[in-house]
Amino acid sequence: MKGILGKPVPIEVWEVLAASALLAWRILSYPAATLWRDWVAVLGMFWILTAAAGRRRGWPVALALGMAFLFALYAVRQVPWSLAVLRAIR
């Protein structure tokens, strides 16, 4: 797609816009105090970081930290539910 100056708009710009729209939707629909543990909001921020700085030298470290945070968020919230269901099945 062409930009205002007639030049093609880089794909990274479209990715940041899409992730920003997703993040704005989550900010408007969830309480601000709980956004840090909303995996969609975290993933939206991570998507923006990926589009903006995904080819930098420190990217593997940022990727590892982001994925570790998402895993910890998942484990803390999901594991107790899973264990409760498994105990109920026995």
**pLDDT given at position 22:** 93
pLDDT tens track for 20-35? 999 999 999 988 888 8
Instruction: Give residue limits of the domains in the chain.
Output: 11-89
pLDDT band at 2 (very low <50, low <70, confident <90, very high): low
Q: Indicate the pTM of the whole model.
A: 0.69
pLDDT tens track for 34-45? 888 888 898 898
* Cβ atoms < 10 Å from Cβ of 27: 14
Q: Cα(3)–Cα(87) distance, rounded to whole angstroms?
A: 57
